[in-house]
Structure 1
Amino acid sequence: MSLFFSNKALLGCLAVIVALMADQASKEAVLENAHRLSAALPVVPGFNLVFTRNEGVTFGLLSGMPWWVLTVLAVLICLWISSVMLRSNHKVEVVGCGLILGGALGNIADRVRHGGVTDFLDFYIGNYHWPSFNLADVAVLCGVSLLIFHQVRNPA
């Protein structure tokens, strides 16, 4: 049983590390090129790179809250997700939780260092732009999707 736990923990930690490193590396590249990205940089039709700072949470909600309040809330959620990950017996759940944790930790790092989250992925259709986001958000979305997929395929 302890071998499974260590393999499971390793798998979860690997998902955390991959998500966190991809997020932080991409944000560092954006910050190094912030002057070029202050105006949208077209990549392909429907997609731009752009530097924005989100001081709230998803879609700018709670943007009036102090950064440290959002950080404390995120840390508490990370602790809860960590406990879910370590108690799970399913690889899909462990990876899903790991991706959520890695993404959340990436955004926590931004809040601590910059007082807000660096966003740079700008998708649009015509004049309608989806709120910009980052790779941490992508990791969280993928992690949640894995958890939902697992729950649908394996109802309790």
Structure 2
Amino acid sequence: MGYFLLVIVVIVADQLSKWWILSSFRLYESREIIPGFFNLVYVTNTGAAFSMFADVDSPWRHYFFVGVGIVAIVGLTAGYFIMRRENRWYGPAFACIAGGAAGNLIDRVRLGAVVDFFDVYIQDYHWPAFNVADSAICVGAGIFIVLSILDRPKNSTKE
């Protein structure tokens, strides 16, 4: 699948899932799906990953995160064009991360916060709520990390 097509697939899947949550849930509503393990819940996040900086009370926080999202998407796309010849799996890795960044960027611009709804937990421990875009970012980062470990330069010399 081409880089830009995968970016669009991630964005569409993310935005459709968020549209469903927004149209089917009230803010903070939770529905148990797998007892003791998984809920769907509608929450918002004005911060970064795991709600970092969500408590920073500054009008610049929003613009900072929008700027970071734009720079990330541009940087990942440039990285794709540079790295695609190294290994074909860099394309899907960068596309998943860029698509996820774009999905969350759309929320920030449109709603002022990111919509999260997957709630995974064991007993009283809840992983921070996340969404399809966050999942794509993690999958893409995972692929990139594995490639970085396994795809050593072919021309390296031992000293």
Same fold (TM over 0.5): yes
Please, which of 33, 39, 43 is the counterpart of residue 33 of structure 2?
43
| Range 78-87 or range 105-114, more displaced | 78-87
Partner secondary structure for residue 91 of structure 1: coil
For the pair shown, the structure with the greater C-alpha radius of gyration is: 2
Letter in 2 for 1:108: L
Structure 2 CA distance for aligned equivalents of residues 39 and 16 of structure 1: 30
- Partner residue in 2 for 1:129: 126
- Counterpart code for 1:84: G
Quick one: distance in 1 between partners of 2:22 and 2:29? Answer: 13
Shift of 1:149: 1.3
User: In structure 1, what residue type is equivalent to 2:131?
Assistant: N
Cα distance between partner residues in 2 of 1:120 and 1:55: 14
Q: 2:104 aligns with which of 103, 107, 112?
A: 107
| Bigger proportion of residues as helix | 1
Identity of aligned residues (%): 32
Q: Indicate conservation of the 8 Å contact 1:96/1:146, yes or no.
A: yes
For 1:138 and 1:20, the matched residues in 2 are separated by: 12
* Match of residue 70 from structure 2: 75
Q: Which of 17, 23, 32 is the matching residue for 2:14?
A: 23
Deviation of the 1:79 alpha carbon: 1.1
Task: Give the Cα separation in 1 of the matches to 2:82 and 2:91.
Answer: 9
Q: Per the alignment, in what secondary structure is the counterpart of residue 39 of structure 2?
A: strand
* Deviation per residue, 1:88-142 (Å, 9 max, x gap): 2122001100000000000000000110100000000001111000000000000
2:124 and 2:29 map into 1 onto residues whose CA distance is 15
2:50 is aligned with 1:59: yes
Residue 42 of structure 2 aligns with an amino acid whose one-letter code is: F
Q: How does 1:137-148 map to 2 (within 5 A)?
A: 137-148=134-145
CA distance in 2, matches of 1:153, 1:69: 34
- List alignment gaps of at least 5 residues for structure 1: 1-9
| Amino acid in structure 2 at the alignment position of 1:38 | Y
RMSD: 1.3
SS in 1 for 2:33: strand
TM-score w.r.t. length of structure 1: 0.89
Which aligned runs of 4 or more in structure 1 are off by greater than 3 angstroms? none
Paired residues, number: 146
2:29, 2:76 → 1: CA distance?
Answer: 36
| Secondary structure at the counterpart of residue 132 of structure 1 | coil
- Alpha-carbon distance between aligned partners in 2 of 1:107 and 1:85, rounded to the nearest angstrom: 20
Q: Which residue of 1 aligns with 2:116?
A: 119
Q: Does 1:153 align with 2:144?
A: no
